[in-house]
Amino acid sequence: MEKKFTFKLNILIAALLFGLFFGAGNIIFPVHMGQLAGANSLKATIGFLITGVGLPILGVIASALSQSDSLFDMARPVSKQYSILFTCILYLTIGPLFAIPRTATVAFEVGLIPFISNSYIRLGLLIFSAVFFIITLYYSLRPARILDWVGRYLTPLFVVLLSILLLATFIKPMGQVSAYEAQGNYVDRPLFTGILDGYNTMDALASLAFAIIIISNIEKLGVKNPKKIAKETAKSGLLCALGMGLIYGSLAYMGASSLASVGRAGNGGAILSMVSDHYFGFMGKLLLAAIVTVACLKTAIGLITSCAQMFSEMFPRSISYNKYAVIFTSFSFAIANFGLEKIIKLSIPVLMFLYPLAITLIILSLLAPVIKRQTDIYRWTSLLTLIAALFDFFNALPEGIKASPIISYMISLTDSFLPGYDYGFGWLVPAFVGFIIGFIIWRIRQKQSLSNKTSK
């Protein structure tokens, strides 16, 4: 008989999920978005919540609902080769190439730079990132206790620390949100811009990796039935979504209202630093350093654990979990020392390519009980999405590369015949067409199979 899954356990799993998600970009991006969106910050925040909260939670639920053991298993209906390639690219993106290094650089630039003179910044980043990743590696080498470290301790500590700063912005507002005009794309397309901003958190991608951690911990708590696991995952996911949505909305409000008191800044980290200094002075800087360090540390532990687990399972004969953890941590340390700005710039084109593929995979997995993980549907949807996503990748490249004749011609050509391309959603129509083609082929195959059986 299975153990009864209480509401207290749902809260614990929700805290683990929240802790894994809420890291580096989750703090800095909504604050910066709030400043840029100004009076349109509500619409921008709604868009941000769609991709920053809704998609990640759906990703975890989709994994449980499709009864997939991993991202590799979720993508397997397309083909084994596609599944291996997509899994490797996604895990490297949310792992040692971009997301893990970003946890250390955000913690350093937001939390410690205010205490360091400009001449010692590079040395400071080197020392801080070394200590940060040594701590990360220590906990990552003990994955069995991740529920305790992240769910029971680090997440509650982070929420308490962040709540102090957020409450101050509501008790004593810095200004009126409606008093400031939106900037850039937030003027005429705040909702769609907010949706694309949510990509930067990388949480929808990470959800496909974190799902295995959540599902395995639910199983450890006594739930073995796949349907029950999916149900409890959904309940915990909704609790997590509520908490994330509340904090994202508060951070966006903080950014929008801060214009009256601290002025504009180039990134969310600088805004947070000025806001904490505005309310609490020197102690505010210490508070912010603690908030960001705890947030980034718990996410780094979750990402190293997920990446090492996935690669050790995909390639069991090559390298052990512990060795993968050491390799990924060391590589992340090296990348982190290039600095936050370079990491963010390099990651944007990759995210524009991966997100459409991840979103379609999540939707297909949610439909798995209906479409039976049918190969034709998965293949056609993924193929046409992949082709369109390549053009989104080209469009997100740095201006110098985009200016080349070939890429510039492809972008202008695609913009003229692909609806939504200039908004970053040119993949939607191809994905839908691919789904329809795959569905028709599936139905034809079903009728042919039934006809063959009856003729016999």
* Helix extents (H) in 315-398: 321-336, 340-366, 368-371, 375-395
Structure tokens at 430: 């191809």
Q: What is the pLDDT of residue 133?
A: 96
Instruction: Report which of 251, 200, 188, 292 is spatially closest to residue 35, judged by C-alpha positions.
Output: 251
Q: Is the dihedral of CA 388, 392, 397, 399 positive or negative?
A: positive
Structure confidence at residue 26 as a pLDDT band (50, 70, 90)? confident
Q: Determine which of 117-126, 154-163, 243-252, 302-311 has the lowest per-residue pLDDT on average.
A: 154-163
| For residues 332-356, average pLDDT | 89
Q: Assess contact for 221 and 3: CB atoms under 8 A.
A: yes
Residue type, 208: L
pLDDT at 454 over 80: no
- d(C-alpha 430, C-alpha 223), whole Å: 39
pLDDT at 419 (0 to 100): 86
Residue 151 has pLDDT above 70, yes or no: no
Please, which pLDDT band fits residue 159 given cuts at 50, 70 and 90? confident
Q: Does the pLDDT of residue 146 top 70, yes or no?
A: no
pLDDT at 240 over 70: yes
Mean pLDDT, the chain, rounded, equals: 88
pLDDT, tens digit (0-9, with 9 covering 90-100), for 292-336: 888 888 888 888 988 998 899 888 877 899 999 999 999 999 999
CA gap 203, 132 in Å, rounded? 21
Predicted local distance difference test score (pLDDT) of residue 147: 60
Provide the 10 A C-beta neighbour count for residue 148: 13
Q: Which of the 8 DSSP states describes residue 172?
A: S
pLDDT at 24: 60
Whether the per-residue pLDDT at 250 is higher than 60: the answer is: yes
- Cβ burial of 382 (10 Å; 0-12, 13-18, 19+) is buried
Helix, strand, coil shares, percent, the chain, to 5 = 85, 0, 15
Q: What is the pLDDT of residue 294?
A: 81
Please tell me the CATH code under which domain 7-337 is placed.
1.10.4160.10
pLDDT digits (tens, 9 = 90+) for 84-109: 999 999 999 989 999 899 889 988 98
Classify 318 as helix, strand or coil. coil
Span 351-408, pLDDT tens digits:
999 999 999 999 999 998 899 899 999 999 999 999 999 998 988 888 888 888 888 8
H-helix or E-strand containing 319? none
- Which pLDDT score is estimated for 456? 59
In the chain, CATH 1.10.4160.10 covers 7-337
Q: What percent of the chain is modeled with pLDDT above 90?
A: 45
Tokens coding 97: 């190439």
pLDDT for the residue numbered 295: 80
